[in-house]
């Protein structure tokens, strides 16, 4: 464990801070299981502050949420990503993760102006006719200011905080290391693929740090909805935008969280709910590129009952295959087809071992609960919760894109219900599903699928002789390998390595004792207290080695208690 922990030594100050916060929130046993106290802790002095009295009596989800908030922007973002993993965490954990807030004190306006000028390579007065120093929004990664372009266009200027990239990179390195330790020390957690979750989080956070990537996502959404007058996506002004600064149209409308202002603005809540749902469903089922965080802070209602989306830092992508699977699931649900629904869910199992017979029975029980509920009156959020509970019971971990999708759907239905208590998302889904199912069986679509299948079959058959020849060549030349992925094999190898080191040290110590004893019988060379100095030095080294061996064996025995 020491070797792996030393990898993170360049981030030692931050690692010390993380471990200290875990301990202060009563999560010290978790840190101890990761091996931090036995290695890095002794070097950094992690345990200077004991956990507050009564902290351990607070529920673990609450303590973890508080620890994530104390750890700063990267870990807050991690908690927000974890809030999408409804397939891994039960509702009480998800509820705590959803409470994580990104608000942080704003940077001074003068600092922001200097940062923009440095990033764009020209004075601020050449870029904007006016610039408001007071931010209209401040988060952990960036803050937003209102400004005006020389032609009078009102814009929102999103500026990345200085130094945030280096800090996030350090935190991501530590998280990757901790995920590795979790899989190593908690065998049951390995099933939930913590390293894969951290990898997904890293990709998402790095995209969010790149404001140019957010701008490209906004352009993609703008093209997707160019023909829809009911949806507005802010335009990006690339002449004054880059990875650190994003200048976009200022959206002046009613925030989705201020429903009390809708009547004065002459807006129809029911129409807004349906148009917003249609927009997100089009993103998911038609375009395969969706806003993954459509919470009230990222949605505005405009005159003419139009919808505007902002903050495209977190987006999701769905392949054609995944979209077909979603449509199959919804179609099976509409027809109460238990077998089709079971088959679709099993497509998402991946490498997870599942008792298919018991799984099919539980799906049947789930479908029976909704047997007499009209599809248009089905609570999608409750249905997803029930499906996720079933998935958790069977130890299934969803692919990351699906976890993000289901979270977005739950958020969307909640937003629609705030506008219209009689809003049911599945009622909006039905026309999309019917259209997509009919499109599958059009002659042109059938012909295209047939051509693809024939092409794949011919390519596979044509490649078989070459694959066989290559395999036989590898066998003849001794290059044929079989890769075995055995759980904890690397940990077992390190244990053997440690045991070998202790055995070698014991042999060396024994040789030193024997050699030193022989040297003591020789009456020659320098002496100390009447005894040969070389022999005494050998005994001293043997004593140190013996103490090290005893301490090492004692620590190993404590690890297995």
pLDDT digits (tens, 9 = 90+) for 466-501: 778 777 877 777 776 766 555 555 555 666 766 676
With a cut of 80, say whether residue 304 has pLDDT above it.
yes
Residue 280, C-beta contacts closer than 8 angstroms, at least 6 positions apart: 290, 291, 294, 408, 412
CA angle 269, 272, 278 (to 5 degrees): 145
294 close to 309: Cβ distance less than 8 angstroms: yes
Three-state helix/strand/coil letters over 198-266:
HHHHHHHHHHHHCHHHHHHHHHHHHHHCCCCCCEECCCECHHHCCCCEEEEECCCCEECCCHHHCCCCC
306: confidence class by pLDDT, cuts 50, 70, 90: very high
CA angle 544, 545, 551 (to 5 degrees): 90
According to DSSP, the residues that pair with 232 across neighbouring strands are 308
With a cut of 50, say whether residue 235 has pLDDT above it.
yes
Distances (CA, A) of 375 to 61, 372, 424, 429, 439: 35, 9, 9, 10, 21
What proportion of the chain, given as a percentage, has pLDDT over 90?
A: 16
131 close to 99: Cβ distance less than 8 angstroms: no
Tell me the C-alpha distance between 13 and 76, whole Å: 19
3-class state of residue 60 by DSSP: helix
- Count other Cβ atoms within 10 Å, centred on residue 414: 15
With a cut of 50, say whether residue 346 has pLDDT above it.
yes
Helices (H), 83-163: 91-97, 109-120, 124-127
With a cut of 80, say whether residue 40 has pLDDT above it.
no
Side-chain-facing half-sphere of 111: CA atoms under 13 Å: 10
Span 447-465, average pLDDT: 76
Residue matched to tokens 């202002």:
261
Q: What is the pLDDT of residue 223?
A: 93
3-class state of residue 311 by DSSP: coil
Q: What is the pLDDT of residue 33?
A: 54
- Count other Cβ atoms within 10 Å, centred on residue 192: 19
Q: What is the pLDDT of residue 457?
A: 76
Structure tokens at 54: 């009564």
- Count other Cβ atoms within 10 Å, centred on residue 222: 15
Structure tokens at 534: 């070389």
Tell me the C-alpha distance between 107 and 130, whole Å: 19
Provide the mean pLDDT of the chain.
79
Structure tokens at 405: 């999708």
Residue numbers annotated as active site: 293
- Min mean pLDDT across 41-55, 99-113, 184-198 is at 41-55
Q: What is the pLDDT of residue 154?
A: 94
With a cut of 50, say whether residue 165 has pLDDT above it.
yes
Q: What is the CA radius of gyration of the chain?
A: 31
Most confident of 37-46, 492-501, 508-517, 521-530: 508-517
Categorise residue 106: left if φ over 0, alpha if ψ from -120 to 50, beta otherwise. Answer: beta
Span 16-36, average pLDDT: 68
Span 411-430, average pLDDT: 84
Residue matched to tokens 């100390």:
528
From the list 432, 416, 415, the residue with the least C-alpha distance to 375 is 432
Structure tokens at 75: 């870990």
DSSP 437-499: HHHHTSHHHHHHHHHHHHHHHHHHHHHHHHHHHHHHHHHHTT--------TTHHHHHHHHHHH
37: confidence class by pLDDT, cuts 50, 70, 90: very low
Tell me the C-alpha distance between 86 and 173, whole Å: 25
Whether the model clears a pTM of 0.85, i.e. scores above it, the answer is no
Q: What is the pLDDT of residue 47?
A: 41
Residue matched to tokens 């490649």:
463
402 close to 428: Cβ distance less than 8 angstroms: no
Query: What b-and-e string marks burial along 511-528, b requiring 16 or more CB atoms within 10 Å of the CB?
Result: ebbeebeebeeeeeeeee
3-class state of residue 289 by DSSP: strand
């Amino acid at each position: 464990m020491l070797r792996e922990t030393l990898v993170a030594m360049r981030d030692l100050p931050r690692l010390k801070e993380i471990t200290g916060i875990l301990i202060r929130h009563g999560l010290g046993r978790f840190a101890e299981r990761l091996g931090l106290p036995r290695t890095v802790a002794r070097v950094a002095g992690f345990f200077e502050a004991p956990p507050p009295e009564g902290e351990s009596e607070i529920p673990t989800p609450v303590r973890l949420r508080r620890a994530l908030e104390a750890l700063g922007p990267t870990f807050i973002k991690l908690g927000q990503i974890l809030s999408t993993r409804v397939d891994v965490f039960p509702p009480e954990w998800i509820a705590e993760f959803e409470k994580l807030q990104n608000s942080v004190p704003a940077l001074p306006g003068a600092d922001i102006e200097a940062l923009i000028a440095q990033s764009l390579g020209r004075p601020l007065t050449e870029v904007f006719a006016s610039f408001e120093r007071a931010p209209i929004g401040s988060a952990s990664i960036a803050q937003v200011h209102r400004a005006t372009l020389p032609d009078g266009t009102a814009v929102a200027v999103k500026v990345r905080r200085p130094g945030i990239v280096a800090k996030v990179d350090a935190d991501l390195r530590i998280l990757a290391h901790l995920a590795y330790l979790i899989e190593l020390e908690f065998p049951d957690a390995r099933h939930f693929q913590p390293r894969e979750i951290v990898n997904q989080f890293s990709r998402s956070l790095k995209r969010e740090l790149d404001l140019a990537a957010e701008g490209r996502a906004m352009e993609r959404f703008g093209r997707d909805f160019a023909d829809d007058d009911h949806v507005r996506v802010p335009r990006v002004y690339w002449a004054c935008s880059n990875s650190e600064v994003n200048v976009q149209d200022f959206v002046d409308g009613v925030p989705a969280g201020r429903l009390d202002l809708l009547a004065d603005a002459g807006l129809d809540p029911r129409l807004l709910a349906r148009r917003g749902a249609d927009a997100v469903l089009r993103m998911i089922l038609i375009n395969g590129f969706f806003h993954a965080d459509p919470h009230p802070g990222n949605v505005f209602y405009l005159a003419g009952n139009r919808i505007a989306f902002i903050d495209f830092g977190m987006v999701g992508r769905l392949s054609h295959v995944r979209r077909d699977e979603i449509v199959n699931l919804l179609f099976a649900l509409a027809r109460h087809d238990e077998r089709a629904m079971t088959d679709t869910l099993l497509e998402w199992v991946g490498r997870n071992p599942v008792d298919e017979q018991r799984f099919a029975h539980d799906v049947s029980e789930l479908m029976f609960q909704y047997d007499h509920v009209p599809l248009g009156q089905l609570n999608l959020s409750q249905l997803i919760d029930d499906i996720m509970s079933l998935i958790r019971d069977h130890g299934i971990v969803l692919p990351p894109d699906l976890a993000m999708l289901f979270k977005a759907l739950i958020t969307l239905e909640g937003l629609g219900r705030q506008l219209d208590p009689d809003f049911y998302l599945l009622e909006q889904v039905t026309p999309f599903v019917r259209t997509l199912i009919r499109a599958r069986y059009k002659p042109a679509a059938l012909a295209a699928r047939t051509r693809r299948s024939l092409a794949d079959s011919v390519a596979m058959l044509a490649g078989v002789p070459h694959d066989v020849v290559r395999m036989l060549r590898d066998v003849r030349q001794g290059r044929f390998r079989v890769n075995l992925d055995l759980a904890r094999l690397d940990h077992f190898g390190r244990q053997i390595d440690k045991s070998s080191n202790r055995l070698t040290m014991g042999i060396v110590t024994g040789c030193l004792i024997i050699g030193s004893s022989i040297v003591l019988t020789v009456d020659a060379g320098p002496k100390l207290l009447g005894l040969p100095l070389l022999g005494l030095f050998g005994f001293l080294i043997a004593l140190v080695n013996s103490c090290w061996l005893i301490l090492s064996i004692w620590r190993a025995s404590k690890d297995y208690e």
